[in-house]
């Protein structure tokens, strides 16, 4: 990210704070992903592939509409909802999906309530929210 700051490339990393044993740690909603804003026709976006740690640019270099990006940022708040007595899996936990069409995918829990859990994950190169049964996920981190 320092390289992106240095060259003045507009970017967004979606983070959240999680309390772990009286300490607050910063975690990523989508580990390993950075959202960049560039003009595919004018900018030399291919140079971004040379930045340290960059593996590839997902999909065609087409812009995510501003409304969709604002929606994504709103769905991935910096502060998680507080867990309550009805919370089954703590918000911020990393889980692996065990059953169904999303089997094997990993994501971050945004909230849970009794028998259901909302998981934020990357699918088809886009962030997606899935509502799953609690029994269909396993906490891994």
In a domain, 85, yes or no: no
- The answer to the question of residue 84 being in a domain is no
For 76-132, the pLDDT digits (tens) are 778 776 666 666 788 888 899 998 889 999 999 988 887 889 999 888 777 888 999
Q: Are residues 11 and 62 in the same domain?
A: yes
Q: How long is the chain?
A: 141
Q: Determine the structural domain holding residue 13 and report its residue range.
A: 2-75
Query: Does 87 map to a domain?
Result: no
Question: 115: domain CATH number?
Answer: 2.30.30.30
How far CA 82 is from CA of 105, 119, 127, 138, in Å, comes to 25, 16, 23, 20
- Report the distance separating Cα 11 and Cα 1, nearest Å: 8
- Contact predicate 3/34, CB 8 Å: no
- Is the pLDDT assigned to residue 29 strictly greater than 90? no
Are residues 69 and 17 both part of a single domain? yes
Q: Pick from 75, 107, 122: which residue ends a domain?
A: 75
Helix (H/G/I), strand (E/B), else coil: 30: coil
Residue 86 in domain: no
What is the share, in percent, of the chain residues with pLDDT greater than 70?
Answer: 84
List strand residue ranges (DSSP E) for the chain, in order.
Answer: 10-12, 15-20, 23-28, 35-37, 94-97, 106-113, 116-123, 126-133, 137-139
Domain contains 46: yes
50, 110: one domain: no
Give the mean pLDDT of the chain.
80
Do both 71 and 107 map to the same domain? no
Q: What is the model's pTM?
A: 0.54
- Burial pattern 14-43, b for ≥16 Cβ within 10 A else e, equals bebebeeeeeeeebebbeeebebebeeeee
């Amino acid at each position: 990210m320092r390289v992106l700051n240095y060259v003045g490339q507009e970017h967004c990393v979606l983070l959240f704070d999680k309390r772990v044993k009286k300490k607050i740690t910063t975690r990523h909603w989508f580990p390993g992903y950075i959202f960049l804003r560039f003009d595919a026709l004018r900018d030399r976006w291919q140079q971004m592939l040379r930045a340290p740690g960059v593996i590839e640019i997902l999909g065609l270099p087409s812009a995510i509409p501003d409304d969709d990006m604002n929606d994504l940022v709103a769905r991935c708040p910096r502060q998680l909802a507080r867990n309550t007595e009805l919370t089954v899996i703590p918000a911020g936990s990393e889980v692996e999906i065990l059953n169904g069409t999303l089997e094997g995918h990993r994501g971050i829990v945004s909230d849970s309530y009794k028998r259901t859990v909302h998981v934020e994950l990357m699918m088809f190169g886009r962030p997606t929210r899935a509502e799953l049964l609690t029994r269909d996920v396993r906490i891994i981190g």
